[in-house]
Chain A
Amino acid sequence: MHSTGLNTNQMMRQVIYALVLGVSASYVFFGWGVVIQILLGTIAALVVEATFVAMRGRQVLASISDGSAALTGILLAISIPAIAPWWVVVVGVAFAIIFGKQLYGGLGNNPFNPAMLGYAFLLISYPLQMTTWPVDFLSFSQVIDEVFNLVNFDGISGATRLDDVKTSLSLGSDIATLQVRSISQAWINIGFLVGGIYLLARKIIFWHIPVAVLSGILMMALLISIFDSQQHLPVQNHLILGGTMLGAFFIATDPVSASTTPKGRLIYGFLMGVLIVIIRAYGGYPDGIAFAVLLMNMMVPLIDQYTQPKVFGRS
């Protein structure tokens, strides 16, 4: 009754399809860079996966056809700025696949979300490239020039929106004036939200994690806004800025690295939401998704241990 009737490969493909809306919204606001990064990420993921699977003496075709490597590449490519130099996504994806997945024994054995591991690695290593976003729609040729470092434009890029808002707030700007420019982020988040609802409807993901993540974010944001409203974003902005919806529906729900029990998934998601807001509000990085996911990944064995469901006939 819960079966999707899909096999693992088809499930992965469905997740990729569900990303289309959010990615389209991203394209509308940031231009061709989005597409280029996804292409780079996917190709890099498939090449690295194939190489490592071959080195491990496993079946290459079966491994890359399951779609998991491509998905990792796409998720990472979506998360990084659309005008990041080409080597950023390639290095990030290679790190994600090698250190996040293959070294643990491939699909299903990795304790951490590979895409977020790659993202965290990039953010720590290349903070400048990782926080510079285009401010406007960029044409194909502009993107090619920018991504492959052929020509440097001035005035097409700015800081990541969340970072930008945080800086402005700390400098005493009014929240009301800052909200106008967040419209692009809102649309992108709505795109991913719709994609996430599609996944829920197809029963490819379960409701526990997204609902828990979003309530964790809401709860913590509410607490912060009550006690410390001047310096911080209002509650609703936490839901529409940054990678909130992408994180809640596509990244936190990565089954391999998430908690596996129904109760555990609620705890896992909720704490992740809380951590996301704490990192956003008080941390040194613009967005908290990647670090919150990795921290919660570490807690999965502990959570699973204490949230086993009741077994029939046992009290």
Chain B
Amino acid sequence: MLDQTFSGGVVIANPYPVEQVKIIQAPLPNQVVLPLQQRIGAEAKPCVEVGDRVLTGQVIAKTQDQFCVPIHASISGTVMAIDKQIIPHKSGLKSTCIRIESDGQDEWVETKGCGSDFLHCDRQTLIDYVQRSGIVGLGGAGFPSHTKLNKATGCHTLIINGTECEPGVMCDDALMQHHPREVIRGVEILLHITGAKRAIIAIEDDKQEAYQSLLMFNHNDLISLAQLPTKYTSGAEKLLIKALLDIEIPSGGFAADKGILCQNVSSTKAIFDAVIDQRPLVSRIVTITGDALTPVNVEARLGTSFEHIISLTDVNQQAHDYRMGGMMMGIDIENTQMPICKITNCIFVNNRKPKQLAKECIRCNTCNTVCPIGLLPQQLYWHAKGENIEKCMDYHLFDCIECACCSYVCPSHIDLAGYFSFAKALHKKQATDQHKTDIARDRFEFREYRLERNKQERAQMMAEKKQALKDKMAKDKEQGQVQKDKIAQAMARVNKIKEKDA
């Protein structure tokens, strides 16, 4: 058990604990909706057409850039549509999706990994497998795993993040309890890829069963297990590194700069599947919890609608509020027709309650004490509310990880993290606007300059021409005079001769 930790954070027990963390296999859905937009990078490009028959695990959209992973069909069936659908995202905007209707066969595409002996495969081949299998960070961030692995050269320590610090979420806990062998093997694969000297699997101390099951299967000297105190935000990569290794990743820096690679425990299991069987990521475990039902963990195919999964529970008949992700950093959603995606770790179904109205900030300082980053949320709030982005930057707005610890403890129920998210968006908008204004001004100034230059050039040209003409005329005149003189002289000579003759 680790003593050291980071400052701040809040201790929140799982509000809806269950006795046994089981995993229910969800029945095949009738249809799946798979968004082409990944968390970062460009939208994937479909490589199937409406009406095509696809098999489970078949690539249906290809990557456009290095950040992306391909998109696989999660069931076998027919492509019914490629159109805009609502996806689970904060913006509430629609995105292009591929809709597949199931044929009920669940026929898999043929895949071949490198088998249980992965040691003969080289680093790049393995990373290739990871990318081709569509693996991203399954903890909620959705950052592509192969990008991290490619960057992790000179990595000495591998951290497997099994903290799952968001209260209520249990999917990683369930995974560790039920698939310890795959997790340990996955860590071994990662050790092989990165060449790291050691791996630490970090687990919070409220997940004793997961810890014990991993301990039982761990026979590798390079892999150690660490228990952290149950405290929210310990799953945040930089804070986890601080707690485990007492290394502080500089603001704006990456873990890779210090030779550390973090991978989520579910991603690690997915990497095992990808490398050993080259089985693409087509399903994930989702926790369904909240006060409207008995919490369960469901393994469901990606693209299954929220409604389909929620219908597997004993959800009551009241009006509900839905939230995707954890209770702290998740997002409220309105529409349960949305598909689950790779980052959907949890769905909260709560009985609808009247919302707490925010009161004035009395600068009580509570938020300052819980901020794990050491920011001053109340000062930031003051400036964010006044839309004074410059001042927000003075208070390090962009160091905020939006963990919402401040909002959680605020006695006035102010959604502080929401204000910071807003301020960040405002800063980006102002920066783009400023950029546009700069371009427009530059263009205008250049036009003015060009017109002025043309005018001057023309004037100069005219002046030069005029001068040339003048010179020519003068020259002509001179030449004319010379001619006249010559004629006169000739005449004079002729006259002289004439006079002589006479």
Contact = CB atoms under 8 A, between A and B. Distances in A.
Asked whether A and B interact, the reply is yes
A2 B252 CA distance: 28
Interface stretch (A4-12, A84-92, A124-132, A212-220): A4-12
Contacts, number: 103
Interface stretch (A24-32, A36-44, A138-146, A258-266): A258-266
Contact of B374 (A10, A206, A265, A310): A310
A176 interface: no
Contact of A7 (B9, B11, B238, B413): B413
A3 interface: yes
Interface in B218-257: 231, 238-239, 242, 248-253
Q: Name the residue in B365, B395, B409 with the highest tally of chain A Cβ atoms < 10 Å from its Cβ.
A: B365
Contact of B363 (A1, A3, A260): A260
Contact of A314 (B250, B370, B412): B250
B6 A312 contact: yes
B365 A206 contact: yes
Q: Name the residue in A66, A261, A314 with the highest tally of chain B Cβ atoms < 10 Å from its Cβ.
A: A314
Q: Name the residue in B10, B249, B362, B375 with the highest tally of chain A Cβ atoms < 10 Å from its Cβ.
A: B362
Given A255-B365, A304-B379, A311 B373 contact: yes
Contact of A106 (B6, B251, B360): B360
Contacts of A2: 10, 366, 369-370, 409
Contacts of A258: 363
A314 B56 CA distance: 47
Contacts of B369: 2, 206
Contacts of B378: 260
Contact of A313 (B11, B253, B357, B379): B253
A25 B376 CA distance: 39
Given A1-B10, A108-B360, A260-B378, A312 B372 contact: yes
B364 A255 contact: yes
A109 B250 CA distance: 35
A281 to B, nearest CB: 32
B6 A8 contact: no
Given A11-B411, A309-B374, A314 B362 contact: no
Interface string A61-95: 01000101000000000000000000000000000
Contacts of B373: 311-313
Given A2-B409, A308-B395, A314-B250, A11 B372 contact: no
Given A1-B370, A11-B364, A258-B363, A312 B248 contact: yes
A3 B366 contact: yes
Nearest to B359: A8
A2 B232 CA distance: 13
A169 interface: no
Contacts of A7: 359, 411-413
Contacts of A260: 363, 365, 368, 376, 378-379
Interface residues of A, number: 34
B436 to A, nearest CB: 31
A256 interface: yes
Contact of B362 (A8, A62, A313): A8
Nearest to A209: B365
Given A8-B412, A313-B248, A255 B362 contact: yes
Contacts of B366: 2-4
Contacts of B250: 313-315
Contacts of B409: 2-3
A2 B405 CA distance: 11
Contacts of A109: 360
A108 B372 contact: no
Interface string A294-315: 0000000000100011111111
A226 interface: no
Contacts of A1: 9-11, 231, 370
Contacts of B361: 108
A7 B357 CA distance: 11
Contacts of A313: 238, 248-253, 373, 399
Given A262-B368, A312-B251, A107 B374 contact: no
Contacts of A308: 376, 395
B251 A311 contact: yes
Contacts of B375: 311
Nearest to A10: B411
A219 to B, nearest CB: 24
A251 to B, nearest CB: 15
B411 A312 contact: no
Nearest to A12: B362
Nearest to A307: B376
Interface string A245-287: 0000000000110101110010000000000000000000000
B408 interface: yes
Nearest to A108: B360
Contacts of B239: 312
A11 B249 CA distance: 37
A3 B251 contact: no
A296 to B, nearest CB: 15
A241 to B, nearest CB: 30
Contacts of A11: 362, 364, 411
**Top 6 A-B residue pairs of the complex, sorted by shortest distance between their CB atoms:** A108-B360, A313-B251, A3-B409, A312-B373, A2-B369, A255-B364
Interface of B: 6, 9-11, 231, 238-239, 242, 248-253, 357, 359-366, 368-370, 372-376, 378-379, 395-396, 399, 408-409, 411-413
8 contacts: A1-B10, A2-B370, A261-B368, A309-B374, A311-B374, A312-B242, A312-B248, A314-B399
Interface of A: 1-4, 6-11, 62, 66, 68, 106-109, 206, 255-256, 258, 260-262, 265, 304, 308-315
Given A3-B366, A312-B6, 4 more contacts: A7-B412, A255-B365, A261-B368, A309-B376
